[in-house]
Structure 1
């Protein structure tokens, strides 16, 4: 079942690189704060690298000024996520996390089969606005689209 507004984010451990590969659980990421979690089908893929992450980079300070953390997730390994962030000059504080085994993606019910493109199981393109671990807004793209999960659209809909 797909996550709904009012649901708690499932408790899952993700990976990131800070002082080496580190585990970070969703409770640590989202409890007690406001955050946007946005997911892309894959780091270094065209729309993700040309529009989705760059939009959140461009508007990062707009989110921060509203007290909202920004977390980017993909079904890629943490080394790829780190390299992608460096390539696009992601600012410190914009967290890029790896859902390498698609554990959170599946728990959210937002997975897609990209086997036809040689990519296997991936996250659908989406953004969630989360307050204290609870989904308050949900922006899930139709297949092949990039509209509702953009940084600009998410910012317009923040309370």
Structure 2
């Protein structure tokens, strides 16, 4: 029986850890479910300036809480999602976005990965072609074939 209980405890722990972590406090939640859904959608796109690799929705940092509250205030004031993001970018800079916008200042950021992938593919293709041409040997001459036959026939006798 204790084995079953232990298994259930491990399963419960695994399910708890697998659940998405949300740091939104009950006092932050908006009364309007539609606005709250928009707030959650937007906060998933915003970076915690303290944690840096977490969204503000998942961060317990005081600054993340302040941004979550500010975001909800802007939504209640009637701002569109784009206006809220523009306001936060103007206030905190482009770094506040987990997925930076595609513009002139982020061009290198967006193009580096595909460029490296393409260059790596070209390098691999060139390497394979060079190897293939380097391993292509000239055909044996008549004297070389005769010597090969002699060596192989000696091998089979011994």
Q: Do the structures match in fold with TM over 0.5?
A: no
More helix by share: 2
* Structure with the greater alpha carbon radius of gyration: 2
More strand by share: 1
